[in-house]
Amino acid sequence: MKMKSKAAIMLIVLIAIASIFSLALPRKSNDLPDDFIQVKRDMDKGILYGVCDLKEDYWNRPEFYPTWEKYRSQTHDFSRWGVTGFGAFPSLISYNVKDMKAGDRLETCTYVRSGWNIETFQGLHLNMDHDQSKFDVNIIPGDLLLSPTYPELIEGWTNKVKITIVAKEDIKGTYNFRLRGESPSPEKTKEYYNRVMNMKDYPFYECGWFDSKCNEDIVELRKKTYYNGGTFQADKFFDIEVIAH
């Protein structure tokens, strides 16, 4: 009888410990595609030439991004919170084009995601700095609502962004295109804000029983936060280089 009680107590303690860890760590996705490691290998080496052809099963996984393993096991500092941050992977693609004439197009992609440990929803408008006299550029999607990456990765934390460059005239020389993350328009901001405020049942952090450092009032104030992105931004986000012969 005593043995059974001890076993039961041990089981309860183990479940409690597991619960604490499951709250402290972001979710790790399972069921990776069979050739995920090979695709990631080529992506990390910069030899995955069909960047736009990647299926969602690959780019919508945290393991696809080179820094995930480092961050997923970090201890969370509850005295602070991740308010904003984003970036792109890959950060630069260079193309050689030959005999690009008016109407010819070039399509490329990158994957724009929230920084790790971000607890807010971030609105972002994507814009491209480029030579407008020679090229038209179309970015899809042009606006993003990036979801949090903490305490869990919420659908929308990463997005495939497709960029189409169309020549306006015959092209020779080297041209640079620089993606920028800016604040969305007032209309889009309102739309995103309302979308976040009307969200239900998405995961957010709750103070655990043994979490003496966690302040429930502060945690409550952090929920359902929409942040207009673009005020903090990286000069180096996503660049395209076109070398035209």
Binding site for another protein (CB under 8 A): 43-49, 51, 65-67, 70-71, 77, 79-104, 106, 113, 115-118, 120, 218, 221-222, 225, 227, 231-238, 241, 243
Q: Closest distance between another protein and the C-beta of residue 98, in Å?
A: 5
Q: In a 10 Å sphere around its CB, with 0-12 CB exposed, 13-18 middle and 19+ buried, how is residue 47 labelled?
A: exposed
- The CA-based angle 222-228-234, given to 5 degrees, is 110
106, two tokens: 């070039």
36 or 71, CB closer to another protein? Answer: 71
Q: Closest distance between another protein and the C-beta of residue 150, in Å?
A: 10
Q: Closest distance between another protein and the C-beta of residue 77, in Å?
A: 8
Q: Closest distance between another protein and the C-beta of residue 231, in Å?
A: 5
Q: Closest distance between another protein and the C-beta of residue 203, in Å?
A: 18
Cβ count within 10 A of residue 170 = 12
- Coil, strand, or helix at residue 154? coil
Q: Closest distance between another protein and the C-beta of residue 60, in Å?
A: 16
Write phi, then psi, for 114 (nearest 5 degrees).
-70, 150
CA distances from 56 to 71, 139, 160, 200 (A): 22, 18, 8, 25
114 or 188, CB closer to another protein? Answer: 114
Q: Closest distance between another protein and the C-beta of residue 47, in Å?
A: 7
48, two tokens: 């995955």
36 or 95, CB closer to another protein? Answer: 95
Could you tell me whether strands 238-244 and 158-167 are parallel, antiparallel, or unpaired per DSSP bridges? unpaired
171, two tokens: 């092209």
16 or 221, CB closer to another protein? Answer: 221
119 or 188, CB closer to another protein? Answer: 119
CA distance 16 to 61: 28
71 or 202, CB closer to another protein? Answer: 71
35 or 170, CB closer to another protein? Answer: 170
In the chain, the amino acid numbered 243 is I
Q: H/E element holding 3?
A: helix 2-24
